Each structure stands twice: as structure tokens, then as C-alpha cells.
Amino acid sequence: MTLDYDAIMNYAFPDFRRDYSKKDTMLYALGLGLGSDPMDEDQLKFVYEKNLQAMPTMPVILGFDEVPLSGVPELRSIDFTMLVHGEEYLTIHNPLPVEGTTLCRTRILDILDKGADKGAIVYREKEILNAADDTILATTLDSIFLRGNGGFGGEPGPAPAPPVHKPPDTEPEVTWDRPTLPQAALIYRLSGDYNPLHAEPAFAAAAKWERPILHGLCSFGIAGQAVIKHFCDYDPGGLKALQVRFSAPFFPGETLRTEMWRDGDVVSFRARAVERDVVVINNGRADI
């Protein structure tokens, strides 16, 4: 089916509220692998109720769609079996409370047509607000690569997103390895992303992957942890913005190595699957 550009662009995403508890805040951090060293109190404060703090990347999951988009009639022309998360941009405006209620407002910015053999790219923007007082907590912008929907007759660009960040062409100044559990995706999905791509072997095979892959937003959060660990002394308030491009799938059970360079208040980074020596996150930029 040809992508219905007008129907998707005119779809009014309903605002949705998300109640979350301290337990949810701890579960999100556990899904990123925090708490792997029970003697590390810098990690403990994200997974234990005493002096609990929220990971600064958590707004991306609080803004995750409550209703599966595959069930929305206006979006039925999208081939959801061929959908891949392309890029993620997070801007943090205010600290996230450890519990509360958020309001998410979503809009489509544009859909670019890269050609029948390359696919299409949807750009979405979300505002995550504190429902108690309408304070903006964070803004996210993502690009969704629709591998099965190119050639619908749309424009190829320009993209309604910040420029792609270029890491230095030198050896990284800091590297950090985070081993992941084989069941990492099954833990992370409990924070709200129940896409079967991350759980069902048959669904993953239909999407042309050899086995279920880890959520891109999970590896995004792990890279965010690497930045706040090495450059913010594990102070979640030290991270102001994070952007990445997802360049390859990452499989649960692999080791994610984040490679970083600092230039003033900007940290450039990329991340690779150590066992396969494949870069899975590229063009990373963190503002601290």
C-alpha cells in the first residue's frame, strides 16, 4: 500500500497522561542496567527508594505512545513490520520528579520520501509536561525510518531536525563498557514499549532480524548513563540534551561500548556492539 501522506500529516495525536510511581522510575533505571554494581551508591540512587533520583533520559519512555500506532486507521498505510527507529533528540527543560503525572503532546513535523528502494522517514515532536502545573519537562524529536514505504511521491528533504552531529576523527578520550543481560529487552519493555520486535523471534524474523533486538531507546539511555557517569559525576541535572542516530541493531546480551570526546560543554559520542565490532549508535551529541 502506498503511504498516505495527507492522512498521516493531518492525524491529530490525542494528548495522553501518564501516571508513574517511584517503582516505575526504578524499573526504568534497572532496564538500563543501573544497579549492576550493588556497592556503587552513584548507581544505587537511581534504583533504590532512599534518596531516589530519576534518570534524565526517562522522559523518552514517558512520552511513548500509549496506543499502538498500528491500530490507528489514519496510519494504516504505514508498513509497521518494516519500521525502524532512526534518530532521537532529547532536550531537558526541567528535572523530572521521581513520581507524578505527565502529559504528552505529539505532532508530525514532516514525512520525507527517500525513494522506493530506500524508504520514507517520519519526523515527530513531543512535549512532555508535568500535568500538575504544565511545566515543560522535556521535548523529544524522533525520526522513524519506514523501510517499506518509500516512493510515495513526497519530497526527499530537508529534514525538520537539527544537523547531524559529527564526532571527531580521533581516538576517543573516554570509553565505557556496559554489558547487557540476555533478557535486557524483556526488562526494558516493562517501562512501556511493548513492541513485539523486542520479544518475539517470529516477529523479529518478519522484520528481517535474526532475533529480537534491544530497544533503541534503551541503548540511548545507556549512552546517556555513560555521559553523566564520566562528565557529570552521576548528577542527572548535568545533562541538558542528547541526540543520536541509530546505525545498526543491538542484541540483548551484547556489550555496549560508548566512546566519548569532550569539547567544553559538548560531549561527542558513538556506541558499538563490542562482540561484533559494529557501531550501533553514531553521531551522538550530549550538551552538559
Say how far apart CA 228 and CA 235 lie, in whole Å: 6
Query: One of 85, 110, 198, 224 is an active-site residue; which one?
Result: 198
Scanning the structure block, which residue is given the C-alpha cell 552538559?
288
Say how far apart CA 129 and CA 145 lie, in whole Å: 26
Strand partners, 128: 104, 138
Cα–Cα separations (whole angstroms), residue 119 to 7, 79, 94, 95: 18, 10, 36, 37
Query: One of 78, 213, 228, 288 is an active-site residue; which one?
Result: 213
Element (H, E) at 6: helix 5-9
Task: Give yes or no: 63 in active site.
Answer: no
Report which residue type is found at 140: T
Task: Give yes or no: 151 in active site.
Answer: no
Say how far apart CA 201 and CA 92 lie, in whole Å: 35
Say how far apart CA 179 and CA 257 lie, in whole Å: 8
Say how far apart CA 66 and CA 43 lie, in whole Å: 29
**Per the structure block, which three cell numbers stand in for 44?**
544505587
Please tell me the total number of residues recorded for the chain in this structure.
Answer: 288
Query: One of 119, 216, 221, 284 is an active-site residue; which one?
Result: 216
Most distant CA atoms of the chain, gap in Å: 56
Query: One of 63, 86, 193, 230 is an active-site residue; which one?
Result: 193
Task: Give yes or no: 216 in active site.
Answer: yes
Query: Which residue stretches of 135-267 are H helix?
Result: 184-188, 201-206, 216-231
Task: Give yes or no: 165 in active site.
Answer: no
The half-sphere exposure of 277 on its side-chain side, counting CA atoms within 13 A, is 0
Residues labelled as active-site residues: 193, 198, 213, 216
